[in-house]
Amino acid sequence: MSKTVIIGNWKMNKTLSETKEFFTEFNSLYTNNKNKIISNLDFAVAVPFINTTAFELNKTELQLAVQNISQFEKGAYTGEISAQMLLEQKVKYAIVGHSERRQYFKETDQDVNAKTHQAIKNNIIPVVCVGETLEEYEKNQTNQVIEHQLKHSLQNVDLSKVIIAYEPIWAIGTGKTATPEQAQKVCKFIKEKTDKNTLILYGGSVNPENIEQLLNQSDIDGALVGGASLKADSFIKLLTLNK
C-alpha cells in the first residue's frame, strides 16, 4: 500500500473555541506520539467552516478538508462555496456525495459528478462517497447500488485524481460496522470497477478499536471517520492504530 489516508469528518460539530482547544491538544499529543504514526500517512479533518479554522490549522500537522463543495464555478448561488475559494484556503480534500448530503439535501449522482469535476479542476482531491442502505444491503443489492453510483458519479472523471470512500449507510453513526471482511469485499469490488491504483477509504463507525483490522485488508487504503475524530486523543489513536 503506497499511501494511507485518514480523514476526520466533523460534520456540524465544534465552535471556533472548541476547534482551537482540539488543535492545542492534538499538537501536544502528536508531538508525544510522532514516532508511532503510521508511515506514509496523510491525515486531515473536514471542518464545518473554513476561514478562521484554516488559520488555526496552519499551526498543526493536519491537512484541511471540507465536507462539501459547490458544483458551480461562481455566480448567483446563495449559500454556496466554490472550489476556487476553498483552494485559496489551502484545502486539500473535499468530501463529495456523503450519504447525509444525498439524503437530506437530495444530491444526485449527477450533482456529485459536477462537484467532483469542480474539485479536480481546482486541484482539490475529491473524496467521492458511495454506499448502500440497510434495505439494499439486506436484499443483496450492494454491488448493484455501488456500481450505479460509481458509473454516474465518476462519469468522465480522471480516476487518478480521486479517492473513493465506501460508507455503508446502515453503519454511519449507528455503532454498527461492516466486518473487516465485508468491507474488504466491497472495496475490492470498487477497485475492480474503477482502477486498481485508486485509493479506497472505508467509513462507518470507524474507531481506534477496529481501525487496524480494517487497514489490514488489502483493498482498504484508509478511513473516513466521524465521531471518533472529534476528540484529539481518539484521533491520535486512529493515526497510531491505537498503539
113 phi and psi angles, rounded to 5 deg: -60, -45
Give the rounded distance of the alpha carbon of 66 from its chain centre: 9
Give residue 50's pLDDT. Answer: 79
Q: Give the pLDDT score at 225.
A: 97
- Give the chain's domain count: 1
| Domain CATH for 134 | 3.20.20.70
Q: In this structure, are residues 200 and 180 in contact, taking their beta carbons and an 8 Å threshold?
A: no
Residue 141's SS3 state is: coil
- β 222-225/63-66 pair status: unpaired
Q: What is the pLDDT of residues 55-110, one digit of tens each?
A: 777 778 899 999 999 999 999 999 999 999 999 888 999 999 999 999 999 999 99
**Residues designated catalytic:** 98, 167
The sign of the dihedral angle between the CA atoms of 221, 96, 22, 170 is negative
Determine the structural domain holding residue 225 and report its residue range: 4-239
Q: Which three cell numbers stand for residue 168?
A: 455503508
- pLDDT, residue 175, reads 73
H or E element that contains 67: none
State residue 1's pLDDT score.
46
The pLDDT value given to residue 13: 95
Burial 22-44 (b: 16+ CB within 10 A, else e): bbeebeebbeeeeeebbeeebbb
d(CA 53, CA 58): 9
Q: What pLDDT was estimated at residue 16?
A: 85
Alpha-carbon distance 167 to 170, whole Å? 8
- Give the contacts of 32 (CB within 8 A, at least 6 positions apart): none
Q: Which residues of the chain have pLDDT under 70?
A: 1, 51-52
Report the C-alpha gap between 117 and 107 in whole angstroms. 15
CB atoms inside a 10 Å sphere around CB 74: 11
- List the alpha helices (DSSP H) in the chain: 16-33, 51-57, 83-88, 99-104, 109-121, 134-138, 142-153, 180-193, 211-215, 232-239
The per-residue pLDDT for 52 is 66
Per-residue model confidence (pLDDT) at position 243 = 85
- Please provide residue 122's backbone torsions phi and psi, each rounded to the nearest 5 degrees: -110, 20
pTM of the model: 0.93
pLDDT of residue 9: 97
